[in-house]
Amino acid sequence: MSDELDPEVVADLQLRAYSEHDRTRTRGEGAYDWKPPAAVTEWKCRTPPCKVFVGVDADTVEQWEMFNRELVRRAEKPIASHEVVRCASCELEMAKVQPLRLRKRVDRMADVIRQLKDGKEQIRYRDNEGDQIGNRELAFAKLKEWGHPDVEGFRQALTEKSSPNKKPRKDFV
């Protein structure tokens, strides 16, 4: 989902792409065949319903090409040109909703963590597709996906807590 591209991940990948010096080495490898277009000067805004075209300079095009080469090298799907830039008004809109998104993500995690702590076998959670239900394993995977900093540590803490001599501890929560 293009809208879900994490800007931090993209920045990270761009950095990695920069460090890839031999640019011709891996052409044609990987699961996707991707070739940069001969000339691109305007890209569609990456907000799906937005129809605005944004002027793109040569550096951005080059960055995008390197970025995609890196993705292709890892057999990951390259990013289309309409998934890269935002027009000024969408950029502004994004800056407004971003804190709310992060807040929602934290709430989502807190809810799953609470259920895991309660020892529930079926965990209810909400993701981009709506309300979901899954087992504990999936819940841990979801936490990881949402950027929980220490899923394994958390899992371990829960395992220790539920070991034979179960003593309810008030200080745990």
Q: Residues interacting with Zn ion, by CB under 5 A? A: 45, 47, 50, 52, 87, 90
Do 5 and 83 contact (CB within 8 A), yes or no? yes
Alpha-carbon span 17 to 12, nearest angstrom: 9
Give the nearer residue to Zn ion in terms of CB position, either 40 or 52.
52
User: Taking the CA of residue 152 as centre, how many other CA atoms within 13 Å lie in the half-sphere pointing to its CB?
Assistant: 0
| Of 64 and 125, CB closest to Zn ion | 64
Query: Cβ 44 to Zn ion, closest distance in Å?
Result: 8
- Considering beta carbons, is residue 47 or 81 the nearer one to Zn ion? 47
- Residue 159, judged by CB atoms within 10 A of its CB (0-12, 13-18, 19+), counts as exposed
Minimal distance, residue 92 CB to Zn ion, in Å: 10
Q: How far is the CB of 86 from Zn ion (least distance, A)?
A: 6
Phi-psi domain of 113 (left: phi exceeds 0; alpha: psi -120 through 50; beta: other): alpha
Closest CA to 78 of 65, 64, 68, 67: 68
In the bound complex, what is the minimum distance in angstroms from residue 46's beta carbon to Zn ion?
8
Closest CA to 110 of 137, 139, 131, 138: 139
Q: Measured from the CB atom, is 45 or 84 closer to Zn ion?
A: 45
